[in-house]
Amino acid sequence: MTPIAATANDAPAPAPKRVAVVGGGPAGLMAAEVLAAGRVSVDLFDAMPSVGRKFLLAGKGGLNLTHGEPFERFAERYGARRADIEPLLAAFGPAQLRDWAQGLGIATFVGSSGRVFPADLKAAPLLRAWLHRLRASGVRFHMRHRWLGWMEGDAAGKRLRFATPDGEAAIDADAVVLALGGASWSRLGSDGAWVEPLAARGVSIAPLQPSNCGFHVARPSADGTPATGWTEHFKTRFAGAPLKNVALSLDGEGGAMKQSGEFVVTENGVEGSLVYALSGPARDRIAREGGATLLLDLLPSHTAQQVRAEVARPRGSRSLGTHLKSRLGLSGAKAALLYELLPRSAIDDAAQLGAAIKALPLTLSQTRPIDEAISTAGGVRFESLQPGLMLDALPGVFCAGEMLDWEAPTGGYLLTACLASGVAAGRGARQFLQ
């Protein structure tokens, strides 16, 4: 049979544009998904042997995907960066996130706290379904590819330099999405090493700092000079002990940020959800003033007057410890903290002791190292990005996820903003290529 001659109309279609997504956390995977849906050729690179390692770790705590509170309240959680994050959430917010999970076959539910979780509280089934869909849509995965920056002489920022198991390689792309995470839990892949190559290209980057982190405490010692960490006695007995049903506020804020919940005593300080909730302002206060004092309410369900009255009640021959336990239910780490942090004179004075039970000063001296933090504050400043999250300094290069300069408390706000910024960067890159 004679082959049919090719006509001008049958000219081969132009090769699809190539996008390199670097970083396979939730932000990078979401950018890849948006790009693959737009008929561009997507290659995703990650330094680790597999993607989504921090996402899987988050699954160990139940995978709090987002929060069910009203949008207005939700957007407030991004504090000073609300104006930058809110437009991203308007395009892909908590409701869209739940629909997206449903589309992967993962039903979600709103817990009693308003937090939203997958029905089985696990990350692995969601990640598995997601990767399956990404591969089916043509995304190619390149593991053990560590991005090192750009090739020498590459002014446009489209020749990426990678360390691979086979040595260094140069990868060309028409557009690039960087979603390299923050600088905590570096053993899962995010080590903040991206700061240097981006800063060298003139990208403005706020210093990376721990967010949702633990702290060291300082306590008054016998001679009046502050000592760091707990006394040996307290540490030995109570490191690891949870303090439940308490409230914390930052001294000097007039109780404005008072939050209830629980936290944990550590070897040298405190950590846990209630401490994380105040970690941003406390960290900034430490930077400004050298320390930050939290006020611990050991009995949020009692008024100050009730506590005072119970403490002042005659106790006969009973010890103070027995009295506090029987009248107010204070025992264990809660009672021990009073002895740890108050001078003897305050313990012996009913009025001072009563006041301290409602507002026990707990001084934080420094944050725990960033590598232990749940998340990272600081990063690529929004002022150096255009609306589609494209870098001013490098047209065609986009950034998404925790590497951007924002922070939020735990409660699903982190993953929501990471996914929303992945959507925005993916759409931005698509538009750029058009």
Measured distance CA(301)–CA(403) in Å, rounded: 40
- CB 162, min distance to ligand FAD, A: 7
Q: Which of these, 30, 102, 94, lies nearest to 411 by C-alpha position?
A: 94
Q: Where do contacts with ligand FAD occur on this chain (CB under 6 A)? A: 22-28, 45-48, 51, 53-55, 57-58, 61, 63-64, 146-147, 179-181, 184-185, 189-190, 193-194, 374-375, 401-402, 412, 414-415, 418
Looking at beta carbons only, is 100 or 194 nearer to ligand FAD? 194
Please report where in the chains the tokens 């970690």 appear, as a residue: 279
Nearest approach, Cβ of 336 to ligand FAD (angstroms)?
28
CB 19 within 8 A of CB 35: yes
For the chain, the 3-state helix, strand and coil shares in percent, each to the nearest 5, are 40, 25, 35
Quick one: angle between helices 350-358 and 304-312, nearest 10? 140
Residue nearer to ligand FAD on the CB measure, 57 or 355: 57
Q: Which is nearer to ligand FAD, 25 or 261 (CB)?
A: 25
Q: Is residue 239 classed as helix, strand or coil in its secondary structure?
A: coil
| Residue 63 CB, nearest approach to ligand FAD (Å) | 5
Q: Which helix (H) or strand (E) holds 313?
A: none
Minimum distance between the CB of residue 134 and ligand FAD, rounded to whole angstroms? Answer: 14
Q: How many CA atoms lie within 13 A of 216 on its CB side?
A: 15
**Tokens at residue 255, please?**
């109780």
Identity of the residue, 64 or 365, whose beta carbon is nearer to ligand FAD in the bound complex = 64
Q: Which is nearer to ligand FAD, 203 or 414 (CB)?
A: 414
Of the pair 185, 382, the CB lying nearest ligand FAD is at 185
Shortest gap between Cβ of 82 and ligand FAD (angstroms)?
17
Kindly give, in sequence order, each residue whose CB lies less than 8 Å from that of residue 397, ignoring residues fewer than 6 positions away. 157, 158, 175, 176, 177, 178, 390, 391
- Residue 239: what are its φ and ψ, rounded to 5°? -60, 130
User: How far apart are the C-alpha atoms of 207 and 336, rounded to whole Å?
Assistant: 38
Cα–Cα distance for residue pair 116/89, rounded to 1 Å: 16
State the minimum distance, in angstroms, from the CB of residue 401 to ligand FAD: 2
For tokens 């009248």, name the residue.
327
Q: Which H/E stretch holds residue 433?
A: helix 413-433
Smallest separation (angstroms) from ligand FAD to the CB of 93: 13
Q: Select 180 or 370, whichever has its Cβ closest to ligand FAD.
A: 180
Q: Which is nearer to ligand FAD, 198 or 333 (CB)?
A: 198
Dihedral sign for Cα atoms in the order 226, 229, 235, 238: positive
- Which is nearer to ligand FAD, 26 or 157 (by Cβ)? 26
- For residue 373, the minimal CB distance to ligand FAD (Å) is 7
Beta bridge partners of 20: 43, 176
Closest approach of ligand FAD to the CB of residue 344, in Å: 40
